[in-house]
Amino acid sequence: MAEKELLDIEQLTLKKRDYSRTLLIAGSIAMAFFLFLAFIEAIGGLDTGLQWIDWVAIGLMALCGPYGFYSSYRYKKTMEIESRLPDFLRDVAEGGRFGMTLAESIKVSSRGRYGSLTPEIQRMASQIDWGIPAADSIRLFMDRVETPLVRRMTTIVIKANDAGGNVADVLDMVAHDARETLLNRNERSIAMSTYTVVIYVAFAVFLATIFILNSTFLPRMVEAGSQIAEDAPDIGGVPVQIKSDVIPQVQLIFIISVVIHAFGDGILAGVLQDGRIANGFRHSFIMLLIGLIGTRLLG
């Protein structure tokens, strides 16, 4: 009965630990609020000095920022845990070769240093001391980390332990497979980081182009329009003029294009980097912030 209660407490702790869903819901509510302000601004109900597209950008930032950074933080911690998993499995295998059971090997390995993985191993060792079977403590570890690599590795270890036999050889095989998987993932991440940099550079060039057009070309169009309206004669009875009154609409289109590019390019950068849209939200927040500050220079 005590073992079941400990398992129930652990499962409840797991449910409370992940705040990703809460942040996503809160961000969605905040975005809806800012979109409402954007609508009020568009119909002239607000006088804040901002345009409606600015409120849209702030709403997207409220959605992307907290959720994206929190998810990236959790993902980074998980990757650090996964990077030390092969060392832990290898040490547990060594304990098995000395005649230790899986539970005893985990308890002995908990005295070692495995970086971010160390607290998880110590937690498994404590659960074993409380009377939880080694297989159940490994399952709880799998639920806490919850990645395809950890799930695959731990499932094999649990099955091998339940089947009996030489678990040490299985652990060595699993450790080797985990190491190869991590090497392949690191190579992909390094290769894809180049494309992420290219996306940021392209966005910066896009911002620079808009700034140059707004600071040089459009003012010259205003000057040319006013000069032609004063000095140029009519041609065939039709007055020669340049419609400089559309320039504010052109500047608004510039800002809209910046917001669209920032949000879309950010998601693309995150997906290319590690295949996760949540990481793309983090990049979208950064690009939206840069774009929002940059477009203030257009005013």
Q: Where are the domains of the chain?
A: 2-181, 187-296
pTM confidence score? 0.78
Q: What is the pLDDT of residue 285?
A: 95
pLDDT by position in tens, the chain (length 299): 444 544 454 554 554 467 888 899 999 999 999 999 999 988 877 777 788 888 999 999 999 999 999 988 888 888 888 888 888 888 888 887 777 888 888 888 888 888 888 888 888 888 888 888 888 888 888 887 777 788 888 888 888 777 766 677 788 888 888 888 888 888 888 888 888 999 999 999 999 888 888 878 777 776 666 666 555 555 454 454 556 567 778 888 888 999 999 999 999 998 888 878 888 899 999 999 999 888 876 55
Q: What is the pLDDT of residue 245?
A: 66
* Contact of 110 with 121, CB cutoff 8 Å: yes
Q: What is the pLDDT of residue 298?
A: 57
Residue 110: which of 138, 151, 77 has the closest Cα?
Answer: 138
Q: What is the pLDDT of residue 89?
A: 84
Contacts of 240 (CB under 8 A, 6+ apart): 228, 232, 233, 234
Q: What is the pLDDT of residue 7?
A: 47
Q: Give Cα separations from 229 to 109, 160, 218, 245 (angstroms).
A: 85, 87, 17, 13
In the chain, the amino acid numbered 222 is V
Q: What is the pLDDT of residue 201?
A: 94
* Contact of 84 with 149, CB cutoff 8 Å: no
* Contact of 183 with 86, CB cutoff 8 Å: no
Measured CA to CA, the distance from residue 78 to residue 116 in angstroms comes to: 9
